[in-house]
Amino acid sequence: MPHYHPDIDFLTAHVAGTLPLAQSACVAAHLNYCHECRRTVSGLQEVGAALFERVAPEVVSEQLLDMTLARLDEEPPLHFARQQAAGEKTPAILQRLMNGDFADLVWKKVTRKLAISYLRTGDPGHEFALYHIRAGGRIPLHDHCGDEITLVLQGGFSDADGDYHAGDFLFRRSGEEHAPTALQSEDCICLGVLDAPLRFRGWAHRWMNPFVQLRPG
């Protein structure tokens, strides 16, 4: 069971459909691990439904009913949301975006211990990327000009504030610095959603900055 959760503002915006797509996908992935947040989301959905029942109704013409009835036998479109099978580790939303497994992705090597793979969500304001950190490896100290969400998918990492494991959802505001280190025992894969590029600190890693421009979409 995860220990770090999206706060209620995130969950509310997720349910109301107002959260930017990349962030919402990240919340959806957390729900895959988190029974408590699923329960909260179900409650928030009831709030939406209760408001929907009370919305000021608008007049709908008979003609619209007829047009709708005439279209009922149309073939449904071929897009089906993928249902999560019980016990599956990788969240369905990521399986859809990856078209396969972690091993099938193109990984861009940043350091000996760190590789990044960018996934396309179509969100024009956010980068959505997977980080593969080798056991014991660290992501160089960095800060952000924007906000960052991290979701641990496999293994775990630690930083100055604590240890994080699969399912943990972390939100860092712009300006906060950190240098996550993967646990010694296994590799760590996490998902990062950024609304502005990372900035690496420290001489040794400055050279990387031009390579880590934000890639939204």
Partner 1 sequence: MSPSGSDRQDSSIATPRGDEWSDCLLAIARSADRAAFTRLFRHFAPLIKGFALAGSRLSANHADELVQEVMIKVWQKAAAFDPNKAAASTWIYTIARNCRTDLFRRLQKFDTPLAAEDVAPDGADEEPFEQIQSRRNGQRVRELMAGLPVDQAQILAKVYMEGKSHAEAAAELDLPLGTVKSRVRLALQKLQIQMTA
Among 114, 115, 116, 123, binds partner 1 (CB under 8 A): 123
| Nearest residue to 142 via CA among 216, 205, 215 | 205
What is the C-alpha separation between 116 and 136, in angstroms, rounded?
17
- In angstroms, give the least distance from the CB of 211 to partner 1: 25
Tokens 């939303």 locate to 93
**CB closer to Zn ion out of 34 and 110:** 34
Pairing of strands 114-118, 127-133: antiparallel
Sheet holding 156-159, edge to edge: 162-165, 156-159, 181-182
The reply on whether position 78 binds partner 1 by CB under 8 A is: no
Among 88, 108, 109, 124, binds partner 1 (CB under 8 A): 124
Pairing of strands 181-182, 156-159: antiparallel
Per partner kind, with CB cut-offs from 5 to 8 A, the member of Zn ion, partner 1, none near residue 84 is partner 1
What is the C-alpha separation between 126 and 146, in angstroms, rounded?
10
Are 84 and 32 within 8 A, CB to CB?
Answer: yes
Residues 14-53, interacting with partner 1 (CB under 8 A): 14-19, 21, 24-25, 28, 31, 34, 36-53
What is the C-alpha separation between 32 and 35, in angstroms, rounded?
8
- In angstroms, give the least distance from the CB of 168 to partner 1: 11
Among 113, 114, 116, 121, binds partner 1 (CB under 8 A): 121
Residues near partner 1 (CB under 8 A): 4-9, 12-19, 21, 24-25, 28, 31, 34, 36-60, 64-65, 67-69, 71-72, 74, 76, 79, 81-84, 92-93, 96-97, 120-124
